[in-house]
């Protein structure tokens, strides 16, 4: 059974995206995302997939959820039309990262074992939001806090939560 982790960058007002993009540019978060997910499966919704600037993420098994089967060959990713199908495609994977967006996070909140959240300490206008977290169900197992710097314009925290048994 794979370990299932949600990974998301979330603003203090739970904003995660606007106009099919991230509301911020935070290179430290992108670096952490790459370090954590490389070598593992990444599961995402169709709209998140379409928002990737360079197509499928390299060195990761990309699984894209869609109710519409695309025509032709999918270059560098697998398609799944239900969460169940998606998990079947990664049953041999040690770790599966659920990488968004809003629709997929909502469906995964009761399934995931871990959540890797980058809290972006600012408020943003957004059209997509992370689901409300019921902190009664999660234990914070690690936290690193950072100030804004010349490359990262907002303070941010890398926090890992584990589901309570």
Ligand X SMILES: NC(=O)c1ccc[n+]([C@@H]2O[C@H](COP(=O)([O-])OP(=O)(O)OC[C@H]3O[C@@H](n4cnc5c(N)ncnc54)[C@H](OP(=O)(O)O)[C@@H]3O)[C@@H](O)[C@H]2O)c1
Closest C-alpha to 154, from 123, 110, 113 = 123
138 neighbors 100 (Cβ within 8 angstroms): no
45 binds ligand X, rule: CB under 6 A: yes
89 neighbors 80 (Cβ within 8 angstroms): yes
Q: Which of 3, 20, 31, 143 binds ligand X (CB under 6 A)?
A: 20
Backbone angles phi, psi at 160, to 5 degrees: -115, 130
Chain residues 101-120 in contact with ligand X, contact rule CB under 6 A: 101-104, 107
160 binds ligand X, rule: CB under 6 A: no
* Cβ contacts of 139 within 8 Å, gap of 6 or more: 161, 162, 163, 164
Kindly indicate which of the ranges 17-25, 34-42, 71-79, 156-164 contains the residues binding ligand X, using the contact rule CB under 6 A: 17-25
Least gap, CB of 147 to ligand X (angstroms): 20
Least gap, CB of 165 to ligand X (angstroms): 26
Nearer to ligand X, 67 or 164 (CB): 67
* Cβ contacts of 28 within 8 Å, gap of 6 or more: 146, 151, 152, 156
Closest C-alpha to 145, from 114, 122, 118, 115 = 118
Least gap, CB of 60 to ligand X (angstroms): 14
Chain residues 73-92 in contact with ligand X, contact rule CB under 6 A: 81-83
Q: Which of 4, 22, 41, 159 binds ligand X (CB under 6 A)?
A: 22
- Residues lying near ligand X in the complex (CB under 6 A) are found at 8-9, 16-17, 20-22, 44-48, 51, 65-68, 81-83, 99-104, 107, 128
């Amino acid at each position: 059974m794979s370990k299932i982790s949600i990974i998301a960058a979330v603003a203090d007002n739970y904003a995660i995206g606007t106009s099919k993009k991230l509301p911020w540019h935070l290179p430290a978060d992108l670096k952490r995302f790459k370090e954590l997910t490389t070598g593992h499966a990444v599961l995402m919704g169709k709209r998140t997939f379409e928002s990737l600037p360079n197509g499928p993420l390299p060195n990761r098994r990309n699984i894209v959820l869609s109710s519409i089967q695309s025509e032709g060959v999918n270059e560098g990713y697998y398609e799944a039309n239900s969460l169940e199908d998606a998990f079947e495609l990664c049953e041999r994977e040690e770790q599966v990262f659920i990488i968004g967006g809003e629709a997929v996070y909502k469906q995964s909140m009761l399934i995931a074992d871990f959540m890797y959240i980058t809290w972006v300490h600012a408020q943003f206008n957004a059209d997509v939001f992370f689901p409300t977290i019921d902190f009664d169900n999660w234990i914070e197992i690690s936290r690193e806090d950072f100030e804004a710097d010349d490359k990262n314009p907002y303070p941010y925290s890398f926090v890992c939560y584990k589901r309570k048994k």
